[in-house]
Amino acid sequence: MKKRSIKARVTLWYTSFLVAVLLVTAGFLFLTTSSLSRQQMNRQLVNAVTDTVGAVHFRYGELDSSRLDFYQNGVSLFLYDQEGYLVAPKVNLGVQVDALLEDQTLKTVEQNGSKWLVYDLYAVDGSTGFWVRGLFSLTESTRISSLLWLLMLLVLPGVILIAAVGGWRITRRAFLPVEQMAQTADAISSGSDLSQRIPLPGKEDELYHLGATLNRMLSRLQRSFEAERRFTSDVSHELRTPLSVIRSQCDFALSPQAAADDRQEALVSISHQCSHMSATVSQLLLLARGDNGTFQPRWETVELSELWEMVCLDLAAQAEQKGLSLQWQLEPDIRLTGDETLLIRLLTNLLANAIGYNRPQGSIQVRLYRRKESAVLEVADTGIGIPPQQLNQIWERFFRGDPSRSGDGSGLGLSMVRWIARIHGGDASVQSVVGEGSIFTVELPLKREGPGSSSK
Ligand code: ADP
Per-residue pLDDT reduced to its tens digit, 251-284? 989 999 888 898 999 999 999 889 888 888 888 8
Q: How far is the CA of 353 from the centre of ligand 1 (A)?
A: 6
**CA-angle at 346, arms to 345 and 347, nearest 5°:** 95
Q: Ligand 1 center to residue 26 CA distance, Å?
A: 87
Calpha distance 260→31 (Å, rounded): 118
Question: Ligand 1 mean position to 129 CA, how many Å?
Answer: 134
Q: CB burial class (10 A; 0-12, 13-18, 19+) of residue 284? A: buried
At 343 the pLDDT is 96
What does the DSSP assignment read for 212-239?
A: HHHHHHHHHHHHHHHHHHHHHHHHHHHH
Q: How many angstroms does the Cα of residue 357 sit away from the middle of ligand 1?
A: 7
Q: From the CA of 406, how far away is ligand 1's center (Å)?
A: 7
CA-closest residue to ligand 1 atom 3? 409
Instruction: Give the CA count within 13 Å in the CB-facing half-sphere of 234.
Output: 23
Q: What is the pLDDT of residue 92?
A: 60
- Quote the pLDDT of residue 235: 77
pLDDT tens-digit series, residues 160-200: 899 889 988 988 888 887 888 888 888 877 766 778 888 88
Nearest CA to ligand 1 atom 7: 413
Residue type, 289: R
Distance 227 CA to ligand 1 centre (A): 23
Is 80 exceeded by the pLDDT of residue 65?
no
Element (H, E) at 381: strand 374-381
Give per-residue pLDDT as tens, 214-240.
889 888 888 778 777 877 877 787 788
The stretch 85-112 carries a mean pLDDT of 78
415 Cα nearest atom in ligand 1: 6
Averaged pLDDT of the chain: 86
The one-letter amino acid at 420: I
At residue 450, does pLDDT exceed 70? no
Residue 101 clears pLDDT 90, i.e. is over it: no
Sequence-ordered list of residues with C-beta below 8 angstroms from that of 206, at least 6 positions apart, any chain: none
Residue 95 has pLDDT above 60, yes or no: yes
Distance CA 350, CA 417 (A): 8
∠349-287-442 over CA atoms, to 5°?
40
- Average pLDDT rounded to a whole number, residues 368-385: 96
Cα separation, 346 vs 342, in Å, equals 6
Q: How far is CA 365 from the centre of its chain?
A: 54
Q: Report how far ligand 1's centroid is from the alpha carbon of 275 (Å).
A: 20
Reduce the secondary structure of 99-112 to three states and give it as a string.
Answer: CCCCCCEEEEEEEC
Task: Report the atom number in ligand 1 closest to the C-alpha of 381.
Answer: 23
Asked whether the beta carbons of 328 and 364 are under 8 A apart, the reply is no
Beta strand 363-371 with 325-330: parallel, antiparallel or unpaired?
A: parallel
Contact (CB, 8 A) for 253 and 262: yes
In whole angstroms, give the CA distance from residue 281 to residue 278: 5
Residues near ligand 1 (Cβ within 6 A) = 349, 353-354, 357, 381, 383-386, 394, 399-402, 406, 409-415, 438
pLDDT at residue 93 tops 70 = no
Q: Which of 405, 406, 436 to mutate to test the pocket of ligand 1 (most atoms within 8 A of CB)?
A: 406
User: Would you list the DSSP string of 388-439?
Assistant: GGGTTGGGSTT--S-HHHHTT--S-HHHHHHHHHHHTT-EEEEEEETTTEEE
Look at phi and psi of residue 293 and say left if phi exceeds 0, alpha if psi is from -120 to 50, else beta: left
The model's confidence at residue 454, banded by pLDDT at 50, 70 and 90, is: very low
Whether the Cβ atoms of residue 122 and residue 105 lie closer than 8 Å to each other:
no
